């Protein structure tokens, strides 16, 4: 994962919401999609590094004549060690050293190591890691208390995080922005213009007879009604922005937890950089 920090996509820029600017909405959409793609790329490279490192360790032990697999596990002195334990915020991480052992049979291009080759699919890589965890739990189920339960908890978390990141489809953001734009652009209508004493044929209260047939009371009500409509549109836009920010945060948090669990230092660092880009000054959430 040597290039992880270089693959992040900066999302800095002016993204202030405007209830009537389609250009700003489109710009915000593009920045959010870039952020989601960057999170996905960091997570993908972290899973690839995790599998590659496990394969290298297995080959090294085999070349040295085997040895006790547990002897080399859970070395916290090295942040890049694939069994390094990290406890993300708001998550109690059961990363038991006995659950990190790998498959004993060759599959998926394991090349005799029992560890599948990394792929270009985040979900496939996480599935391979889960298979490794379960194989280790099955091997140690008679010797280690709760090893199967802990493996299942880890597998559940890994799959949930990976799915959240991988399924952050930009089409969903597109539909969200389309809905928001439609709501915002419909707040000023010919009806509300007439209520303000205006028509398309003339100015306020004249020219096209817009205000001549309206009493002072009707015109006042029209103005108040229009102000209420604009206010409601702005409120809807603000609520939509909050929902988009919340959804983006869920993707980011899932990616951060995944990289932290894997213990890939470059991935953790890259996610920290992304957090500053997205929610720092001038970012999407800034």
pLDDT tens track for 53-79: 998 888 888 777 655 444 444 433 333
What pLDDT score was predicted for residue 15? 37
Contact 231, 224 (CB under 8 A): no
**What mean pLDDT value characterizes the chain?**
70
What pLDDT score was predicted for residue 138? 92
Residue 109 has pLDDT above 70, yes or no: no
What pLDDT score was predicted for residue 177? 59
**Which of the pair, 268 or 65, is modelled with greater confidence?**
268
Q: What is the mean pLDDT of residues 29-54?
A: 94
What pLDDT score was predicted for residue 261? 97
Assign 176 a pLDDT band (cuts: 50, 70, 90).
low
Contact 245, 284 (CB under 8 A): yes
**Which of the pair, 30 or 18, is modelled with greater confidence?**
30
Using CA of residue 169, residue 95, residue 63, residue 60, what is the dihedral sign? positive
Residue with tokens 């894997």: 262
Q: CA-CA distance, 62 to 112, in Å (whole number)?
A: 10
Q: CA-CA distance, 115 to 125, in Å (whole number)?
A: 11
Residue 254 has pLDDT above 90, yes or no: yes
What pLDDT score was predicted for residue 2? 47
Angle at 54 between CA 49 and CA 55, to 5 degrees: 100
With a pLDDT cut of 70, the percent of the chain lying above it is: 52
- Least confident piece of the model among 33-42, 64-73, 203-212, 217-226: 203-212
Assign 132 a pLDDT band (cuts: 50, 70, 90).
very high
Contact 99, 154 (CB under 8 A): yes
Q: What is the mean pLDDT of residues 183-206?
A: 41
Assign 47 a pLDDT band (cuts: 50, 70, 90).
very high
Residue 190 has pLDDT above 60, yes or no: no
Assign 86 a pLDDT band (cuts: 50, 70, 90).
very low
Residue 34 has pLDDT above 60, yes or no: yes
Q: What is the mean pLDDT of residues 228-256?
A: 84
**Which of the pair, 192 or 20, is modelled with greater confidence?**
20
Residue 97 has pLDDT above 80, yes or no: no
What pLDDT score was predicted for residue 129? 96
């Amino acid at each position: 994962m040597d290039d992880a920090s270089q693959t992040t996509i900066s999302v800095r820029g002016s993204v202030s919401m405007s209830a009537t600017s389609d250009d700003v909405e489109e710009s915000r959409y593009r920045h959010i999609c870039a952020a989601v793609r960057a999170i996905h790329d960091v997570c993908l490279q972290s899973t690839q590094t995790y599998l590659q490192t496990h394969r290298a360790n297995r080959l090294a032990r085999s070349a040295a004549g085997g040895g006790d697999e547990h002897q080399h596990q859970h070395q916290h002195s090295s942040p890049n060690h694939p069994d390094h334990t990290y406890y993300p915020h708001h998550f109690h991480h059961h990363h038991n050293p006995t659950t990190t052992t790998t498959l004993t049979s060759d599959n998926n291009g394991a090349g005799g190591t029992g560890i599948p080759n990394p792929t270009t699919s985040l979900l496939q890589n996480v599935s391979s890691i889960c298979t490794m965890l379960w194989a280790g739990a099955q091997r140690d189920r008679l010797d280690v208390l709760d090893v199967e339960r802990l493996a299942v908890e880890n597998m559940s978390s890994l799959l949930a995080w990976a799915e959240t990141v991988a399924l952050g489809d930009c089409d969903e953001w597109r539909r969200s922005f389309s809905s928001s734009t439609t709501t915002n652009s419909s707040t000023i209508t010919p009806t509300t213009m007439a209520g303000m004493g205006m028509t398309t044929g003339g100015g306020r209260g004249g020219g096209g007879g817009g205000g001549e047939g309206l009493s002072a009371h009707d015109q006042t009500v029209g103005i108040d009604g229009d102000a209420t409509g604009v206010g409601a549109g702005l409120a809807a836009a603000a609520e939509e922005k909050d929902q988009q920010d919340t959804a983006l945060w869920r993707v980011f948090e899932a990616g951060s937890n995944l990289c932290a669990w894997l213990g890939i230092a470059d991935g953790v660092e890259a996610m920290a950089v992304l957090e500053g880009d997205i929610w720092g000054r001038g970012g999407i959430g800034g």
